Each structure stands twice: as C-alpha cells, then as structure tokens.
Amino acid sequence: MSYVAVVKGGVPLSLYLKLLLVPATFLITGVLTIAINKLDSTTDALLYIEVFNTYIGSTYETLFASLRIFCKSLGAVSCLYFLTVTTPMTNILLALKKLKVPVLFIELMSLVYYFIFILLNTSANIVISQNSRLGYLNFKSSIKSITLLCSNLFIKSYKRSFDTFTALEARGYTGYLNVIEEDTFKEFLSIPKILFIESLLIILSILL
C-alpha cells in the first residue's frame, strides 16, 4: 500500500515518511515489550541480562512475535494512510451513501470532519497570536499561554461552528448535504484486478 500511495498516488515520499513516523515510533516502543521479556531459563535466549537473580532477554519466539505484530500493525496503518492521502472525504461519503449507510451517520462524519479543521485552524491562530506577544518566552509564560489557549479554544471553536451551522440553515440545510457526484470513467477490468489483489491479501493474512 505504501508503494501504491507513493508511486501511483503521487504522494511525496518525504510527506509519507513523516506520516509513518508517529505510528512507527509508537509500534517500536510497543513491540519492545514483547521482544524483551522475563526468561525462565537462558537455554534458548539470544540476548539476556541478569537483574536481581532474574533473567531478562529475548528468544527467537519473542523476536518473531514482535516482528510479526509490527509488520501487521504497520501494514494496517499504511492501508489507512493510503485511503486518507489518496481519497477525498467527499468521495468516501459518496461511497458510504451508495453502500446504504444511514444518512445521519454520513452527516455526522462530514460535520465532524469539517469541525476538526475549524478546531485546528483556531488553535493555530491563537498560537500565532501568543507567539507574537512572546507568550512562550519562558516556562512560566508558556504555562500561562497554554492555559489561556485551552480555555479560549473551545469557546472560539464553538462560536465558529455555530456560525457555520447558522449559515447552513440560512441556505436551506435540512439535515442532509447534497453533493454533485463526479462522473468518473469506470474501467471494467478494474473489478477483477481488485478482487485478485484482495484475495491475495486475505491469503497472505491467513498464512502469516
């Protein structure tokens, strides 16, 4: 999926690696606790240390289990990133509509998706304003600025979201956003290709 997202999807490699950095760091710290464990004996140990008459180390089994979990988790993350960086949110919502997902769920997804960016934009503007006033000059001022940021962020974001909802109602919003569907070219051979790739992935997931 990473190859398809970068090569076929046109996502810059540097951006994709930055996106993978956060989950990869989390996964590495998680699998270390699986790879390094308390050992009953040092017979099958690859590496071990003795701490207060207790052996802590790794074996072939723990290393293989940690590597397997890491690869599976990173593969799942790459699939999620492939969907995120190559598919617009409107297309995802249209696909859910065609799958007969309840309208309430689709509308909640679209509004929450939009309001997340309102929250991020509002926080970014507040941080820029605080930096221009030297709000993060030292530790004391940083704590004060963060406190003000947290207290004002919800109020400002709520006001912007309320104004947005008012604007929607003024334009005849009744609980559903009608979006014009793009008439895209559908290749007939793409369906067998998708079925083949999905079947291959299912077989690999069962074997591994």
Residue 107 has pLDDT above 70, yes or no: yes
pLDDT score recorded for residue 208: 63
Q: Is residue 200 very low, low, confident or very high in pLDDT (cuts 50, 70, 90)? A: confident
Residue 24 CB partners (closer than 8 Å, separation 6+): 74
Secondary structure E strands in the chain: 37-39, 45-51, 54-59
pLDDT score recorded for residue 166: 85
The rounded radius of gyration (Å) of the Cα atoms in the chain is 25
pTM, whole model, 2 decimals? 0.59
As a whole number, mean pLDDT of residues 106-135 equals 84
Residue 191 has pLDDT above 80, yes or no: no
Residue 109 CB partners (closer than 8 Å, separation 6+): 93, 96
As a whole number, mean pLDDT of residues 156-160 equals 80
What element of type H or E holds 186? none
Q: Is residue 9 very low, low, confident or very high in pLDDT (cuts 50, 70, 90)? A: low
Compute the distance between CA of residue 201 and CA of residue 13 in angstroms, rounded to an integer.
Answer: 24
Residue 205 has pLDDT above 80, yes or no: no
Question: What is the per-residue burial (b if ≥16 Cβ within 10 Å, else e) of 65-91?
Answer: ebeeebeebbbebbeebbeebeeeeee
Compute the distance between CA of residue 27 and CA of residue 112 in angstroms, rounded to an integer.
Answer: 27
As a whole number, mean pLDDT of residues 66-93 equals 82
